[in-house]
Amino acid sequence: MAFVIGDSCVACGACEAQCPVGAISMGDGKFEIDPEKCISCGACAGQCPVGAIAEE
């Protein structure tokens, strides 16, 4: 199950740097996770300072 980034994302980029497979990129005003690339490791969720990342 892939992770998703919610609307509370503040676009700080902390999650993007932690993704081991490069599944996170900047979208329209916030970061987005490509569900095809996401390996559900949770590394991004642990780095999000606002708790915007959760399992889908």
Model pLDDT for residues 39-55, shown as the tens digit of each residue: 999 999 999 999 999 99
Residue 1's pLDDT is 79
* Segment 25-42, tens digit of pLDDT: 999 999 999 999 999 999
**End-to-end CA, the chain:** 6
Domains of the chain, each with CATH number or no CATH: 3-55 (3.30.70.20)
- Burial-class residue 45 by CB neighbours within 10 Å (0-12, 13-18, 19+): middle
